[in-house]
Amino acid sequence: MRRKLLGVLGVFVFAGLSLPARPAGAAVEFSMFKLRDRSLQADFEFASDDACVVTQTHILFSEAVIFQSGSPPTVQPPTTQVTIDYANACTGEVFELTGGTAQQSFQIAGDLGKASLIATVPVSDDSGTNNANVSVNVTWTANAPLQRVKSTTVTHDAGSLTVDRINVQARSADVVGPVAAVLMTQAGPIAFDLSRFPEGGQLGKDNEGTRTITFLKKP
């Protein structure tokens, strides 16, 4: 399984932010970053009737907007990523295909009660010789109450004080395809219903993520 905690994207975005340079001789100053993101995850399995072939398909949709005090917002384009693990126990053939696209159609309810995602995602193996286009048309229907995770982290060094706050909201969900692709196998191209057995999904968002950096005055 490749499921990740919703909100991890936001944490990673914050972690990648570079600290603005402190003006020479400055007194106490601060910069604030605010994060808004939304995420969708879904997992599906296919198993052939002869029990030879099994595929695991993971779908991740994410988007994020970062607001920095005194600067225009930074928008990260919505992206759909797909990973397919293929294994044929009868022939020993195994491969993994991964890929993503920034072209998709999606809807996510404000209460994370439901969502939909439509996209065509190109995927390939590490060598780039095994390629496929994955047709994604997935709906999410929440099956549990909204869960919230709040955390505050404070980091203090010689020149600054950094406070990270996140407020992640998430709901587990039932997922329904179709997700389909023609995969290039040793036996030739074969069409697969990759969403034959849904394994579940999640919807999530962080509308209150903030990072506040206070530059401390030197003694």
The answer as to whether 46 is a domain residue is yes
Q: What Å distances lie between residue 175 and 76, 155, 194, 197, CA to CA? A: 25, 39, 13, 10
What is the pLDDT at residue 29? Answer: 61
Q: Which residue has the tokens 């999904």?
A: 201
Q: What does the pLDDT look like over 57-110, one tens digit per residue? A: 999 999 988 887 777 777 778 999 999 999 999 999 999 999 999 999 999 999
The answer as to whether 167 is a domain residue is no
The answer as to whether 58 is a domain residue is yes
Instruction: Judge whether residue 2 has pLDDT over 60.
Output: no
The answer as to whether 15 is a domain residue is no
The answer as to whether 6 is a domain residue is no
The answer as to whether 19 is a domain residue is no
pTM as predicted:
0.80
The answer as to whether 150 is a domain residue is no
Asked whether 140 and 114 are in contact (CB, 8 A), the reply is: yes
Residue 81's domain spans which residues?
A: 30-145+172-207
The answer as to whether 14 is a domain residue is no
Domain count for the chain? 1
